[in-house]
Chains A and B, each alone.
Chain A
Amino acid sequence: EVQLVESGGGLVQPGRSLKLSCAASGFTFSNYYMAWVRQAPKKGLEWVATISTSGSRTYYPDSVKGRFTISRDNAKSSLYLQMNSLKSEDTATYYCARQGDSFAYWGQGTLVTVSS
């Protein structure tokens, strides 16, 4: 059974950093692109970052480019999102998702609140 379990969310002050983790199991992690998708309170879904199977290629929307860094450790079947210079508009539930051409599997999400 495919499982994705996020951790690392919490309350953080504007301008500070936070690192999210996602532990994957039930599939060959190194064979899949992985992604982070977020959802601000009462808002829609927003793609945040994608990483290739080896980690050599990463992709971001303009809203987080230069502030967020996606990475992976295939030996540990783990995905990460380093978030720097956080803003109030980054407040959201962050989902880890397995990305082929579709997001067939999602984690349960971890809430990040950016507030002073």
Chain B
Amino acid sequence: DIQMTQSPPVLSASVGDRVTLNCKASQNINNNLDWYQQKHGEAPKLLIYYTNNLQTDIPSRFSGSGSETDYTLTISSLQPEDVATYYCYQYKSGWTFGGGTKLELK
């Protein structure tokens, strides 16, 4: 089974900061990776699919990158509404979510 490890578990940042969230797969997942945002009390929302493709209606400050085992979600300028937990998800072999990164405002 492919394991997904996200870091850091908790990230505190200020409005306007550039923020980077990391996701590492236990083996090469060939870019078969999505990012989801989950705000408190809500269902998850798809942000990025297949590593770097922005889902419809998602602000352009969100971007994804990576290859093989290492992937990154970047928020270019953090906004208050971005406070949430972010999950990576692989579908190269089976389906596995990472443990999440909780993004807070400093």
The residues of A with any CB-CB pair to B shorter than 8 Å are 35, 37, 44-47, 50, 59, 61, 95, 101-104, 106-109
The residues of B with any CB-CB pair to A shorter than 8 Å are 32, 34, 36, 38, 43-46, 49-50, 55, 85, 87, 89, 91, 94-100
With A44-B87, A45-B97 already in contact, 10 other A-B pairs whose C-beta atoms are closer than 8 Å: A44-B99, A45-B87, A45-B100, A59-B94, A61-B94, A101-B49, A102-B91, A103-B46, A104-B46, A106-B45
Give Cα A101–Cα B98 distance, bound, in whole angstroms: 16
Give Cα A83–Cα B50 distance, bound, in whole angstroms: 32
* Residues on the B chain within 8 Å of A37, using CB: 44, 97
Give Cα A116–Cα B61 distance, bound, in whole angstroms: 47
Q: Is the CB of A103 within 8 A of B44?
A: yes
* A96 nearest CB neighbor, chain B only: B43
Give Cα A9–Cα B45 distance, bound, in whole angstroms: 22
Give Cα A107–Cα B44 distance, bound, in whole angstroms: 9
Once A101-B50, A102-B46, A108-B43 are accepted as A-B contacts, the answer to whether A47 and B100 lie under 8 Å apart by CB is no
Q: Is the CB of B91 within 8 A of A109?
A: no
Q: Is the CB of B97 within 8 A of A47?
A: yes
What is the distance, in angstroms, from A39's C-beta to the closest C-beta of chain B? 8
Once A45-B87, A109-B43 are accepted as A-B contacts, the answer to whether A102 and B34 lie under 8 Å apart by CB is yes
Give Cα A103–Cα B36 distance, bound, in whole angstroms: 9
**B32, B34, B43, B46: most-surrounded residue (chain A CB, <10 A):** B43
* Residues on the B chain within 8 Å of A103, using CB: 34, 36, 44, 46, 89
